[in-house]
Amino acid sequence: MKIRKKVLVYAGAAVYLFIVVMMGYVLFKQLDEKESVTNELTTTRTNLERLSSTNLENEKAEAETTLAQVTSEVDGLKAMMSLKIDNVPATELVFEVASKSGVSVILLSSPTATHEILEGIPCSITAINVTVEGEEDYLVEFITALNVALDTGVIQSVQMNLIETENQTPQAVVFMEVYNYQGG
C-alpha cells in the first residue's frame, strides 16, 4: 500500500506539475502575442497619423491653390463684365491675342472713358489695364502681338515680374489706351 500511495502522490505531483507548466506555456504565449499586437498597433497608429496629416496638408495646399486661381478668374470676369460697350472689341482683342500667345488673362480693368477731340475728330479714350501670366517668352510674344493688333490704340506702359516661384508664375501688367470714334 505504501507504494501505491507513493505512486498516487507522484502521479498527482506530476499532473499538478504538468498543469502548471502548460499554464505557464499558455501565459507566455499570450504575453508574446500581446506584445506583438501592441507593437503592431503602435506602428499602425504612427503611420496613420503621418499619412493623415500629410494628406490633409497636401489637400489643403491644393484647395488653396485652386481657390486662388478661381478667385483670380472671377475677379477678371467681374472686371470684364463691368466694362462699357465701347471697350468690348478691345477686350475681345486682348483675350484673342492672349489665347494665341499662350498666356492667361488674370485681370482686366477699365475706368470710365474720357472724351476728347483729336485732330478735329471726336473720340472716347478708354484706358485698359491687363494683367497676364505665363512663361517669359509667351509674355513677350503677347505684348508684341497686342501692340501690332491694336489698330486704334497704343500700349502706354508694360511692367513685367519675371520671378517664378512655386505659387507664382511670371506676370506682365499692360496699360493701354484705346481710341473710339464718337462722331455722328
Could you give the CA distance from residue 141 to residue 143 in angstroms, rounded to a whole number? 6
pLDDT the model gives residue 27: 83
- The domain limits of the chain are 1-82, 84-181
Has residue 123 got a pLDDT over 70? yes
User: Considering only CA atoms, which of 96, 113, 114 is closest in space to residue 105?
Assistant: 96
Residue 129 β-bridge partners: 109, 175
In percent, the amount of the chain with pLDDT more than 70 equals 88
> Residue 183 — pLDDT band, cuts 50, 70, 90?
low
Has residue 128 got a pLDDT over 70? yes
Q: Considering only the top CATH level, what class is 84-181?
A: alpha beta
Q: What pLDDT, in 10s, does the model give residues 31-61?
A: 888 888 888 888 888 877 776 667 777 788 8
* Orientation angle between helical segments 136-149 and 88-101, nearest 10 degrees: 140
Q: What pLDDT, in 10s, does the model give residues 137-152?
A: 999 999 999 888 888 8
> Residue 87 — pLDDT band, cuts 50, 70, 90?
low
Task: Indicate the average pLDDT of the chain.
Answer: 81
Q: What stretches of 21-170 adopt beta strand conformation (E)?
A: 104-109, 114-118, 121-133, 153-161
Could you give the CA distance from residue 179 to residue 121 in angstroms, rounded to a whole number? 11
Q: At 145, which helix (H) or strand (E)?
A: helix 136-149
Range from 91-100, 136-145, 175-184 carrying the lowest mean pLDDT: 175-184
